[in-house]
Amino acid sequence: MPGPDGRRPLVPVDFDRPSIARVFDALMGGQDNYEADRVVLRQVLELAPDARVMAKEVRHWLVRTVRYLTDREGIDQFLDLGSGFPTSDNTHQVAQRYNPEARVVYVDHDPVVQAHGRAMLAANDFAHMAAADLTKPDEVIEELARTHRLEFERPVGLILCAIVHHIQDLDEARKIVRAYVDALAPGSFVALLHQHNPADGTEAADIATSLEKRFNGTGLDTLHRTREEIESFFEGVDLMEPGLTYPHLWWPDGPRFTPPSPVNFTSLGGVARKP
């Protein structure tokens, strides 16, 4: 249970077990990871040597998305679920460039992410790290409303960046996403990026299949879903142009100087408005 300040107590860290957030940190070249996480990173790079490139594409998609929502749509509060470490060019930094008082709440259950996130955000009055399990939306929403971290009667930017594919059961994943969307006021936005298997015999399809098989049952399970399955998470909201597409094609900042690699085609992302 949360304490008087709305914080949940941190759970002990198991340094011998890899963490999704810390593996991604290692993939991005960060320092907040351990040997167990770096072992997984090496395994990922064996199967997908360009995985670091894809990690940067995911981050660039997030930057463009938050920039658009803040600067063009006037969104001034964000809920970033399964956020990982709030490091360089993450949601709060991008949003607060355009609105210094934009509120951002990160939600992550990893105790290392929680501890480091609180330290990173200690001097920022408008960004907060919540220790909570995103798969329990009613608890998350109740706590954030009770502590006045977010005002759910006004539009919110909901960020689901590379996290829903870790929820194994499709019906349960839809139910969780739907619960968050239902809690949002009209005019809110949903930004979702999900790993994808094109299942078309291409190298991208082979990479998606290999990664899924390799990590099945390890606690780092990831599902590369079909386009139709990913589209189902946007039920009840209106996808904006260019629709559900590869991250590097969602309103890029300019022309590419290098061709996309097969791993670029193993994720789909989209942004939708709640009517």
Task: Tell me if the pTM is above 0.85.
Answer: yes
Contact assessment for residue 198 and residue 265, using Cβ atoms and an 8 Å cutoff: yes
What is the pLDDT, as a whole number, of residue 38? 84
Question: What would the pLDDT profile of 84-115 be if each residue is shown by its tens digit?
Answer: 877 778 999 999 999 999 999 999 988 888 88
Q: What is the DSSP letter of 134?
A: T
Under CATH, which number does the domain 20-273 receive? 3.40.50.150
Domain spans of the chain? 20-273
Q: How far apart are CA 94 and CA 132, in angstroms?
A: 23
The residue with tokens 């599902």 is: 223
Question: What would the pLDDT profile of 207-258 be if each residue is shown by its tens digit?
Answer: 899 888 887 776 678 899 999 999 999 999 999 999 999 999 999 988 888 8
Q: How far apart are CA 248 and CA 256, in angstroms?
A: 9
What is the phi-psi region of residue 273: left when phi exceeds 0, alpha when psi lies from -120 to 50, beta otherwise?
Answer: beta
255's tokens: 């022309």
The residue with tokens 């989209």 is: 270
Question: What would the pLDDT profile of 2-51 be if each residue is shown by its tens digit?
Answer: 444 445 444 455 666 777 777 777 777 777 777 887 887 788 778 777 77
